[in-house]
Copies of this chain bind each other. A is one copy, B any other.
Amino acid sequence: MKTLTIGMIGAGRIGLLHAENLLRNKQVKVKAISDIRVDHLREWAAAEQVETVTADSRALLQDPDLDAVFICSSTDTHVSYIIEAARAGKHIFCEKPISFDPQETAQALAVVKQCGVQLQTGFNRRFDHNFMKVRQLIETGQIGEPHIIRITSRDPELPSYDYIKRSGGLLFDMAIHDFDMARFLAGSEVEEVYVKGAVLVDAKVGELGDIDTAVTLLTFQNGAVCVIDNSRRAAYGYDQRVEVFGSKGSVSVVNDTDSSAEWSTAEGVFREKPKHFFLERYQEAYVRETNAFVASIQAGTPVPVDGHDGYMAEVIAAAAQKSLAEKRPVPVAEMLRAFTHAG
């Protein structure tokens, strides 16, 4: 199998994580990395034998040696990099969300399709050992037809106000993972979205025009109903669970912990708190995600989470925002029409 030569655009926390994971994949050569700031990368790149370090991402995209690029820069740059990468014939891995505007995402995907390259969206949670098991139990029919899906997704700490300002809001920044998870598990498309949002954690979040608590109700074409509950701050840590109830049974997964220890004293019975940090919680999922991308490109088979998956999550997020603003259930068809009209 031919080694896959990859370039990285964006060397922030997540870009470097992907780079480290790719460096451990023996099928991969990480040849180039770009970022706005590059000074901090030189020593690392030398040690890891990454040949090119550049502040010029557009130049990187033109490197004829590259088979694929990872786009891990800020969200507002994704669409233009995707279009350029596709035109340069590179396969693409793009972090989530592709953009804050499904219409723009659709335009980028049209170019991707036209150029005959593949694009994987960075929904890492699909590669988590727990959620994969849930999906497998559904696919093998052990749970029957899904009726009710429950997703709990709560962050351990409120992000900085600065982050919140440019995050696209809780629904686009945080719940978008859950919208994708819902589609992953339901095996059906969302028909209607209803959101109740609240500012319960920190009043300042409301002043910034965002919410910190949300419960979203998704209705699927196959009749299944999904409930997602989000909070920007769970006092006990990062809370990531799902449950799927179907015609033949139910399956649920709970949080990962650092150990299975249970200890009992005169004060009570104690267990470990959930793994706190998302990079630690999804460490293995990130590795599987990049390896799955590499394997698909090498084999010429479809990537496991494609651009349409990214687009649909954004459409749901846009419907969710509308539901929040207009305090009513919003049919997804209404959104899709809107985008078509605009297009």
A148 engages B215 (CB within 8 Å): yes
Known contacts A137-B261, A263-B137, A273-B269; is A227 also within 8 Å of B256 by CB?
no
Complexed CA–CA distance, A249 and B234 (Å): 6
Complex interface bits, A103-115 against B, C-beta within 8 A gives 1, otherwise 0: 0000000000000
Known contacts A225-B215, A261-B133, A329-B328; is A234 also within 8 Å of B250 by CB?
yes
Q: How far is the CB of A154 from chain B (nearest CB, A)?
A: 7
B268 engages A250 (CB within 8 Å): no
This chain: copies in complex: 4
Known contacts A133-B272, A215-B225, A235-B248; is A263 also within 8 Å of B198 by CB?
no
A217 engages B235 (CB within 8 Å): no
**For residue A259, which residues in chain B have a CB less than 8 angstroms away from its CB?**
129-130, 132-133, 253
Stretch from A72-80, A139-147, A313-321 forming part of the interface with B: A139-147
Complexed CA–CA distance, A259 and B254 (Å): 9
**For residue A227, which residues in chain B have a CB less than 8 angstroms away from its CB?**
150, 215, 217, 227, 229
Q: Contact check: which of B145, B150, B248 meets A265 at CB < 8 Å?
A: B248
B247 engages A251 (CB within 8 Å): no
Q: How far is the CB of A67 from chain B (nearest CB, A)?
A: 20
Q: Contact check: which of B47, B147, B213, B328 meets A231 at CB < 8 Å?
A: B147
| Residue in A229, A250, A263, A274 with the greatest tally of chain B CB atoms within 10 Å | A263
Known contacts A24-B24, A129-B258, A253-B260; is A266 also within 8 Å of B248 by CB?
yes
Q: Does A311 contact B (CB under 8 A)?
A: no
What are 29 A-B residue pairs whose CB atoms fall within 8 Å in the complex? A129-B258, A129-B259, A130-B260, A133-B258, A133-B272, A134-B261, A137-B261, A150-B227, A198-B225, A200-B223, A200-B247, A213-B223, A215-B217, A227-B229, A229-B245, A231-B245, A235-B249, A235-B264, A236-B264, A236-B269, A237-B264, A248-B265, A251-B264, A255-B260, A264-B274, A268-B270, A268-B273, A270-B270, A328-B329
Residues of chain A touching chain B, judged by Cβ–Cβ distance below 8 Å, are 24, 26, 47, 129-130, 132-134, 137, 142-145, 147-148, 150, 152, 154, 194, 196, 198-201, 213, 215, 217, 219, 223-225, 227, 229, 231, 234-237, 239, 245, 247-256, 258-266, 268-274, 327-329
